[in-house]
Amino acid sequence: MEKVLTRNISPGKAPTDIAAYEANGGYSALRKAMTVMSPDDCRQVISDSNLRGRGGAGFPTGMKWSFVPMGDKCSPGHKYLVCNADEMEPGTFKDRLLMEFDPHQLIEGMILSAYCIGADISYIFIRGEYVVAIERLRAALADCYARGYLGENILGSGYKLEMHVHPSAGRYICGEETALINALEGKRANPRAKPPFPQVSGLWGRPTIVNNVETLCNIPHIIDRGADWFKGLGVGEDAGTKLFGVSGRVKNPGCWELPMGTSVREILEDHAGGMQDGLQLKGFLPGGGSTDFLTRDHLDLAMDYNVIGKAGSRMGTGTMIILDDKTCPVGMVLNLIRFFAHESCGFCTPCRDGLPWSRQVLEDIENGRGKKEDLDTLEYQIKYIGAIGNTHCALAPGAMEPLQSALKYFREDFEHHISGRACPYRSVGGS
Amino acid sequence: MSNSQMIQTDLNSVLTLEELAEIDHELEHIPYKSGASIDALKIVQSSRGWVSDECLQAIAKHLEMSSEELEGVATFYNLIYRRPVGDNVVLFCDSVSCWINGCDDIKEMISQKLGVDYGETTSDNAYTLLPVPCLGACDRAPVMMVGDDLVTHLDRETIDTIFANKESGSET
């Protein structure tokens, strides 16, 4: 398969600097856009490509951009492009790779995306723990200013753009785009009510687009090689390639660029090497901690947004977390709910008070203090906390996804904990 | 926050000229002063290790916001420390992939070795142990950060090597 997003990235290879990036065709898409393409032309190509957001929601990128007021329809003032590099979804480790080993690909994608929406200021909102990526991005930005890829009059086109790296002070909720905008404004990162949507009124009340790292990394290649080429890369319904990852107790955990629509089985068996010796696959979260469990019955599904959606889960970030048969599903869900309860911003009651309640019930079950009625309590919580619209944002409904599917597929495990008054996995060498 | 301390301190002299210059540099691309609040907290923390009450009040004054508002911001974020920390902060990942790979046992090893639990600092002030949300290195789990360094594939051996000068929480 042709490598696109990782064409400059190989295990053991040094990070790509500006010379190596340019030598491999880097910034040619930018030259093309600045010389022969208008922002409208560029936006059209992205719309035609069917690129969907790689941060987890899978929203069509071209459509997201289309809500930004352009030309006379936009009141005078700044417009912003923000890169969401706040990779904190449990089990997700793809954007780190892209930023540490090919920072210029992201920057070129950002310049082009900013050009598409007429933004003049852009930010890379990156989690503070990504120290290496922050350093390399800052160095890469300096190179770009020196070569005229950023700043006033980019490549003589008259277009100007400034770009800043903004390390976050940490909180999972900053990955929610309106919470991220509040964090950029120096506030607590509580999500905002929508509408207005950020495309119309975002950072400092101005039109703002927030896109994920991997989404933006696709842009130069689509501008360079066109929408049809991009659509042809996928082997299923969706266009392009995707960074898929596998973590958990498999032989070869890692992250690989594969065609969109690659089967779960191929990712798990061919790339991750299958389960470690002595372990069986019990279930998996297809795309991070806030996606529903799927099981062995779903191994032949294509990793496409709609296919995984129809199976009752979400493709999310495309980085799978594997549950083996010697790891306790109740313990795993407890770990996830504990995370989401801790990371709730505290703004709305169902999330702030509901998630700690779920955590408490799960702690009781896991530690042998569970009662039969606890399963009804969990179902009740799933019904009320999990419904979109009952909470201010998607954090708590996302938290309910692994819980509800664990109850569906691994209900016996919950029941054994309760009837046996202990975690049955602790006696067989599991966690 | 101690009121007596607040009254006695001249807030104009708390922050160094270097810190103020760095904060003002951030303000150049931010349309409202309060917009630099997180940057300012980080700038002060980077030179002092943590953000004291005095510093918080001085930053609030400089950014023309109330110290209560800034306190709300400071306590919201994981990586702003409102209590003193040791020379190195150990950010220990306890999220799902690390948990599957046995991070609970590793955390116990660290706690025993350093003699501290989450939120505590070793008696020689060398390390503060804190939990951190998923560090995004799940293919190399279990992982943690020691200062700015990511340490992967944690096991007894790596823990012994990293904290080589530490013996079961005793001072060295």
- Per-residue pLDDT of A361-373, as tens digits, reads 999 999 999 999 9
Q: Do both B61 and B113 map to the same domain?
A: no
pLDDT digits (tens, 9 = 90+) for A162-182: 999 999 999 999 999 999 999
pLDDT value for B8: 56
Residues A111 and A166 both lie in one domain: yes
Please state the domain count of chain B: 2
Model pTM score = 0.95
Residue that finishes a domain, picked among A307, A324, A341: A324
Cβ of B136 within 8 Å of Cβ of A96? The answer is yes
Q: Are residues A159 and A24 in the same domain?
A: yes
Of A231, A255, A276, the residue at which a domain comes to its end is A231
- B101: which chain A residues are within 8 Å (Cβ-Cβ)? 248-249
* Portion 89-118 of B in contact with A at CB < 8 A: 91, 94-97, 99-102, 104
Q: Which of B74, B109, B126 is the last residue of a domain?
A: B74
Q: How far apart are CA A177 and CA A395, in angstroms?
A: 12
Q: Find where tokens 């190195």 sit.
A: B88
**A291 part of a folded domain:** yes
Q: What is the pLDDT of residue B172?
A: 40
Shared domain check, B104 and B46 = no
Instruction: Provide, for chain B, the percentages of residues in helix, strand and coil under a 3-state DSSP scheme, each rounded to the nearest 5.
Output: 45, 10, 40
Chain A: closest CA distance from residue B19 (Å): 18
Q: How far is A215 from A109, CA to CA, in rounded Å? A: 9
Whether A15 contacts A139, CB under 8 Å: no
pLDDT at A69 over 50: yes
Q: Which residues of A touch B80 (CB under 8 A)?
A: 169
Q: Are residues A338 and A247 in the same domain?
A: no
Same domain, B147 and B94: yes
How would residue B171 be classed by pLDDT, with cut points 50, 70 and 90? Answer: very low
Please give the tally of structural domains in chain A.
Answer: 3
Residue A158 located in a structural domain: yes
* Domain co-membership, A382 together with A287: no
Residues B92 and B155 in one domain: yes
C-alpha distances in Å from residue B127, one per residue of A125, B87, B137, B165: 28, 6, 22, 12
Final residue before a domain boundary, out of A324, A351, A380: A324
Question: Residues B31-61: pLDDT tens digits?
Answer: 899 999 999 999 999 999 999 999 999 999 9
pLDDT of residue B1: 53
- Per the structure, the complete domain to which residue A360 belongs is given by 329-428
pLDDT per residue as tens digits for the range B11-31: 888 999 999 999 999 998 888
Residues A172, A221, single domain; the answer is yes
Query: Would residue A8 count as lying in a domain?
Result: no
**To the nearest whole angstrom, how far is the Cα of A311 from the nearest Cα of chain B?**
23
For residues A328 and A366, the answer to whether their CB atoms sit within 8 Å is yes
What CATH number is attached to the domain comprising B52? 1.10.10
- Domain contains A6: no
**Nearest CA-CA distance, residue B165 and chain A, Å:** 25
CATH number at residue A342: 1.20.1440.230
Instruction: Based on the fold, state whether residues A224 and A254 are members of the same structural domain.
Output: no
Range of the domain at B37: 3-74
CATH code at position A68: 3.40.50.11540
CB nearest B134 (choices: A92, A323, A324): A92
Q: Does B133 touch chain A (CB under 8 A)?
A: yes
